[in-house]
Amino acid sequence: MLSLAGQHSAAVAVYDQSVSPNTQLSGQTIGRLVFSLSELALPDRAIALASAFLQTARSETWDTAVILNALGVLYNGTGRYTLAEATFSRIIALLETTFGGRRVFVALRNRAITRKWQGRFHDAQADARQALELAAEAGDALMMAGAHTLLGEIAFEWGQYAEAEEHYLASCEGLEHLDDSQHSAEAHGRLSELYVAWELPRNRMLALKHAHLALGQLRSQGSPTFLTNGLFWAAQAEARTGRPERALAYADEACAIADQSPSLAHTQNACWARGAALKALGRYEEAHAAFGEAAAAARQLGHLVEVQKLGLETDWFAADIPSVRTRIAWFEARGLRDGIQQAYRLFPELSPAPVAPARLAHIHLKALGPLLLRYSSEEHPVRGAKCQELLLLLLEHRMVGAPEVPLLFLLETLYPHVAERSAEALLRQLVFQTRGRLGQDLIVTTPGGYALGDVDSDAEAFLSSGATELWRGSYRATAPREGDGTVTEALYRALAARLEPLVAQQPTEAARIGRLLLEADPYDTESLRLTLTALRAEGHHKNLSRLYAVSRARFLEVGEHLPATWQAFLEQASPA
């Protein structure tokens, strides 16, 4: 129990004080002790403990597999990947020959992790896919989630961001009802890492959301062992979304843990986070040193991809273009598109296809309120539920990085209960009529479906600028369905992030925005608090009382009780 709680020194002390050489311990207990000794940077002692059991065992039993698994994890954690792969392969053979393949998916997933660290991504993917298939057959939701997360990591490194997102979201969904905060935090943290790298407007707020979900779950464990991962994700998300002071606070907390830990992985993550925060603050000399420390730790651990990515950061400070070209070639040789994209972000002049300067589109789609189209100075309402839905589907796909909407997706979404041939005819007619009413250039035909033409939107502009005046009403105010949840969530999270600063600067605008947020989520007590505060600042006590009465009644409908008066609510809800 002490080891599971992260109290590794205490676990080893209990073992030293209470266990005699003749004591028979279970494989599970020895496995936990091996893990604790590894976390305390005592790998030789951990290996000796495991080897003593394995050498005295008369036959290979289930305990053998458990202890070998702990050894393999230790080898992974100390960069001894050849030994780790051999150990997990031995476990796989043992489980298949002696135990009918029972829980072999655990060893397959662990071997996939080893092969990923070795840079053998195709071999790792094959193991992870087999692990997912076998875990699904066994109904093991936890191991299915773990396999999905690993497959997401591989897709991420290949630059297949949409596929990585699918795997990470599947992992989060699979873990939603399981009491396993460690694996859930890993999935949310990886999602945050993805959204930081995947530069779409909607992803900034999603990066923060998932980073803080991961960090909160890891804090609840009360163990520093995995906390540096959560602090790393939070620092990276905060730095990328323009809040470097918060990023540095998280990075400093991670460094404090790393200073007390012999783990090189802690050092790598803590120094990487600190480098990102300091760079965002413009403290370049300190940032350069921090990235250098992180790279040194990654090199000792044998983390090949991380060494190259951190090397790109140090190259940025030195403006070492030849070194960058060498690293790009290294990534290209392995098909690792994420590393190449990082290089182009840091050194845009090296990109083979530089981004053309932004220009204003001649059609403007206004989706933050009743759907409108603007041509020059003329605005036209978009009428008809199917027409509205078609335009919003095209917009949302573009906002998540997939400009082309597949034909089959449109058919299933717009005409779910219509035979395919008839649905195709209806869709063609809808596109023809929409073009005829609203402009031929509005929708373009693509090889696999349709996309928006030369069109910009207020939704994309808001995510880039944070200008709340773009909101005329609720997103999808008149649309017949909810749409892409990640787009809707990103828009409302970005809007909520603007509310508190507006309360002090523009209380009238804050009150308006607060009402929009409460329309989207009537049970959001923080939006209610800030909206009431804005109304009080304006002196609109009648509107304030009316809004609070409506909110209080809504809470009562679901069995929740708010204080009797808005004054009492504000006093209770205000931050200390």
- Flag whether pLDDT at 37 surpasses 60: yes
More confident residue, 43 or 358: 43
Q: What is the DSSP letter of 523?
A: T
> What's the pLDDT score for residue 355?
45
- Each residue's pLDDT tens digit, 299-314: 999 999 999 999 999 9
- Flag whether pLDDT at 553 surpasses 90: yes
Containing H/E element for 506? none
> What's the pLDDT score for residue 303?
93
Containing H/E element for 365? strand 363-366
pLDDT band of 19, cuts 50, 70, 90 = low
Q: What amino acid is encoded at 329 in this protein?
A: A
Query: What sign has the CA pseudo-torsion 374, 375, 376, 381?
Result: negative
The two tokens of residue 362 are 């001649």
Alpha-carbon gap, residue 528 to 563, rounded angstroms = 13
Q: In percent, how much of the chain has pLDDT > 90?
A: 62
> What's the pLDDT score for residue 182?
85
**Contact present, 340 and 159 (Cβ < 8 Å):** yes
Say what the alpha-carbon torsion angle 192, 198, 200, 204 is, to the nearest 10 degrees.
Answer: 20
SS3 327: helix
> What's the pLDDT score for residue 439?
84
SS3 296: helix
> What's the pLDDT score for residue 357?
42
- Each residue's pLDDT tens digit, 104-163: 999 999 999 999 999 999 999 999 999 999 999 999 999 999 999 999 999 999 999 989
pLDDT band of 60, cuts 50, 70, 90 = confident
Q: What is the DSSP letter of 358?
A: P
Report the chain's mean pLDDT, rounded to a whole number.
88
Measured between alpha carbons, how far is residue 411 from residues 283, 420, 448 in Å?
53, 7, 12
In this prediction, residues 468-497 reach a mean pLDDT of 85
SS3 57: coil
More confident residue, 48 or 174: 174
- Each residue's pLDDT tens digit, 89-100: 999 999 988 888
Q: In percent, how much of the chain has pLDDT > 70?
A: 93
Residues 6+ apart with CB under 8 A from 291: 271, 272, 275, 279, 310, 313, 314, 317
In this prediction, residues 195-222 reach a mean pLDDT of 90
- Each residue's pLDDT tens digit, 221-234: 877 768 999 999 99
> What's the pLDDT score for residue 358?
46
pLDDT band of 359, cuts 50, 70, 90 = very low
Residue 355 φ then ψ, to 5°? -70, 130
Measured between alpha carbons, how far is residue 402 from residues 144, 163, 399, 491 in Å?
27, 12, 7, 18
> What's the pLDDT score for residue 78?
83
Please calculate the CA angle 279-281-284 and round it to the nearest 5 degrees: 40
